[in-house]
Amino acid sequence: MFVSSRVLLVSGVGVDTFRVRYQTLEFRGMDLHVRSLRDRNQFADPAGAAAAAGISSASWPLFGVLWDSGIVLADLMLDQPVEDLRILEVGCGLALSSLVLGLRGANVTATDQHPEAASFLRSNIALNSAPPIPFHRIDWTEPSRKIGTFDIIIGSDVLYERGHAAALSGLVERHAAPHGQVVVADPGRSHVGRFVRQMAGCGWSADRCQAPSTAPVDGRKTGHVVRFDR
């Protein structure tokens, strides 16, 4: 079930403003309160941080809206074993999966390239009285050793450009534990096959399945989930 409180807020003043909304997602008895952008027409980059990272005005709001695959992955994380495991969410956006995992007591780290992702994560941690979740702003194409290695790497709808398959597989190679696992939820984009091939070249085997029907996405297209092991 999807419940929206339809509360809007104006952030900032002048032309560099964006509007947000507050919503509640129900995951099999867990209510997740989410501060998100009102819609895909929002934009604010007064300091030019997004532009410097190569994020255009058209793609700027994509991190801050709810996507079906993000909801599907968060639902999967209700059943994910977490004890003694380090989990990394890549391209987290609103970090629904990290929030679910954090509320379950998991050792999870969220990452995204977008300069506003960290502030939205902090807001949503506070809304849900969740424990702190470490966040790192990273570019997949730039090696980042400071975050270490992880037992599980997860992501949702992270393969929407041609170059993402190679960039993400490279990040996985740098940050996956030797016997790690990767879980990617995708709405059915054409670049998934390329990612599977990239991962196979690095010794990973893939198991592709339909997205579960338990996630609260109101019957919209949910695509599939690909799990990788080696």
Q: Which residue type, as a one-letter code, is found at position 108?
A: V
Domain that holds residue 102: 50-229
Q: How far from 79 is each of 74, 82, 101, 159, CA to CA, in Å?
A: 10, 9, 10, 24
Partnered with residue 206 across adjacent β-strands are: 228
Q: How many residues does the chain have?
A: 230
Is 5 a residue whose pLDDT tops 60? no
pLDDT at 16: 55
The closest alpha carbon to 166, from 143, 140, 144, belongs to 140
CATH number at residue 220: 3.40.50.150
CA distance 94 to 152: 19
Across 125-149, b (16+ Cβ under 10 Å) vs e yields beebebeebebeebebeeeeeebee
3-class DSSP state for residue 162?
coil
Q: Tell which wins on pLDDT, 142 or 166.
A: 166
Q: How far from 20 is each of 2, 10, 12, CA to CA, in Å?
A: 17, 7, 11
Is 163 a residue whose pLDDT tops 50? yes
CA distance 26 to 13: 33
pTM of structure: 0.92
Please give the sequence-ordered ranges of beta strands (E in DSSP) within the chain, or none if there are none: 2-11, 18-27, 30-37, 86-89, 107-112, 135-137, 150-156, 176-186, 205-210, 224-229
Question: Number of folded domains in the chain?
Answer: 1
pLDDT at 214: 82
pLDDT digits (tens, 9 = 90+) for 168-208: 999 999 999 999 999 999 999 999 999 999 999 999 999 98
Q: Is residue 43 a part of any domain in this protein?
A: no
Confidence of residue 157 (pLDDT cuts 50, 70, 90): very high
pLDDT digits (tens, 9 = 90+) for 70-120: 999 999 999 999 999 999 999 999 999 999 999 999 999 999 999 999 999
Q: Is residue 168 a part of any domain in this protein?
A: yes
Q: Rounded to the nearest 5°, which phi and psi values hold at 121?
A: -60, -45
pLDDT at 219: 67
Confidence of residue 215 (pLDDT cuts 50, 70, 90): confident
Mean pLDDT over 29-55 rounds to: 95
Is 27 a residue whose pLDDT tops 60? yes
Q: Is residue 16 a part of any domain in this protein?
A: no
Q: Is residue 69 a part of any domain in this protein?
A: yes
Q: Is residue 44 a part of any domain in this protein?
A: no
Q: Are strands 30-37 and 18-27 parallel, antiparallel or unpaired?
A: antiparallel
Q: Is residue 204 a part of any domain in this protein?
A: yes
Q: Is residue 101 a part of any domain in this protein?
A: yes
Q: Which residue type, as a one-letter code, is found at position 48?
A: G
Q: Is residue 7 a part of any domain in this protein?
A: no
Question: Which residue intervals of 77-191 are DSSP H helices?
Answer: 96-103, 117-127, 164-175
pLDDT digits (tens, 9 = 90+) for 110-153: 999 999 999 999 999 999 999 999 999 999 988 777 899 999 99
